Structure 1
Amino acid sequence: MAWDTDSFPAHQIRMFVGDGRALEAPDQSYDILFSNSVIEHVGTWEDQQAFADEARRVRKDLWIQTPAYECRIEPHYVGFYIHRFPKKWQKALIRWITLRGWIHRPTQAQVDDEVNSIRLLTREEVATLFPDCEILTERMLGLIPKSYIAFRKARD
């Protein structure tokens, strides 16, 4: 669902569709960049680096959240430790040992596409991608890392 700018003209929100790895925007052109659970879907480590570089380039402040690789539960499939298996095993097991597999019964092609399109990040990787940001850890039950947030408040 797209944002309907005509219905909310006072908000002055512009929406555009583009590739987060190569944004068509000048440097520092936005006051804030907000991304919730996107960077793990952009592809390879190199794609994630490009996404992070673009986010840091076009923003003044940013908030980028991503699920934690270290979490015991993989959030896309709701399965214990499934993301720690080799991709070949994930593709074979997701339909049979995860909540998503039991409820939604994805086809093997859907499972293959999802497994190939998700790359969860460790805390160290998030810190590497966002060296000028504070890295916050959201925890489950107060103990287990659930997600990481790269946060930056620009100094004006």
Structure 2
Amino acid sequence: MTSLALPKDDTAREDAVYRNAFRRRRFAAFLALVDDVVRERGRCRVLDLGGGVSYWLGLEQAWRDRPVHVTLVNLASEPVPDGRFESLAGDACSLPDYPDDAFDIVHSNSVIEHVGSWSNKKRMAAEVRRLAPRYFVQTPNYWFPIEPHFRTPAIHWLPRPWQRRLVMRSALGFHPRAESLDEADRILADASLLDGREMAELFPDGRILRERFCGLTKSLIAIR
């Protein structure tokens, strides 16, 4: 695995700035792929699985001068601001309407951990590898001590009864407080994090970059 070294964050800064610092550095690595394609083809067609217009507009300054067209695929489509974007409803695990290598790059940021079972993760990875000769797939690392969706230390390492107790006691991270065991299980099933070995299994033809914070691997990025 390759290390993608990132600067240590100043913990006094607000959390949004912290996230954006990582996002900007990560996006710069993605743009290196884009630039390779532009040199070869004069333009770049990106398929973003699970991304939104707000993500791309938030980073617009970094890519707006490049000839890039972004097709966004989510469970529901959304309005797009201009012709650089197309937004479609679809399933990241199955996109049969697109032929092999229909795009130049597949991009996906913090999505593959949300598609459910290991079988679904394999299906999504197969689609990523099929739909473009290059890809850039990021996911949080299971072994990082802070679970990013709950913003809670070690909750993803606890037995399920303890996890339920925590999510039923208070709102955590992006999730509201669960009102029942059923709701607790739905919240807990929203994301299942991957480790480096699993990412290497899903993307055997790519490199696995390690995004580090304070010496620990915060995220994993499969890149080809």
| Fold similarity call, TM over 0.5 | yes
Matched residue, 2:90: 18
Alignment match, 1:130? 203
SS in 2 for 1:30: coil
RMSD: 2.2
Cα shift readout 1:80-101 (whole Å, capped 9, x = no counterpart) = 1110112332122234488539
Task: Output aligned runs, 1:48-127, within 5 Å.
Answer: 48-96=121-169, 99-100=172-173, 104-108=176-180, 109-127=182-200
CA contact (8 A) 1:32 1:59 kept: yes
Please tell me whether the aligned partners of residues 41 and 117 of structure 1 are also in contact (alpha carbons under 8 angstroms): yes
TM-score by length of 1: 0.83
**Larger RCO (CA within 8 A; separation ≥ 6):** 1
Instruction: Note if contact 2:171-2:177 (Cα within 8 Å) is conserved in structure 1.
Output: no
Equivalent pair of 2:141/2:220 in contact (CA under 8 Å): yes
Are 1:79 and 1:97, in contact at CA under 8 Å, matched by a contact in 2? no
Distance 1:134 1:39, change over 3 A: same
Provide the rounded CA distance (Å) in 2 between the counterparts of 1:148 and 1:97: 29
CA contact (8 A) 2:116 2:190 kept: yes
Query: Which of 216, 220, 223 pairs up with 1:144?
Result: 216
| Structure 1, unaligned runs of 5 or more | none
1:106 positional shift: 4.2
Q: So what's the TM-score if we normalise by structure 2?
A: 0.60
CA-to-partner distance for each residue in 1:98-131, whole Å, 9 max, x for gaps? 8539x94343454321212311001000011000
TM-superposed CA distance for 1:61, in Å, is 1.4
1:26–1:130 CA distance, 2 compared to 1 (3 A): same
Alpha-carbon separation, structure 1, partners of 2:173 and 2:128: 31
| Partners of 1:79 and 1:98 within 8 A in 2 | no
Alignment partners' CA distance in 2, 1:8 and 1:92: 46
Q: Number of paired residues?
A: 147
Shift of 1:79: 1.0
The within-5 A match list for 1:2-17 is: 3-5=78-80, 7-9=81-83, 11=84, 13-17=85-89
CA contact (8 A) 1:95 1:105 kept: yes
- Aligned 8 A contact 1:65 1:150 in 2: yes
Among 107, 123, 126, the alignment partner of 1:34 is 107
Task: For 1:59 and 1:87, locate their aligned partners in 2 and report how far apart those are by CA, in whole Å.
Answer: 38
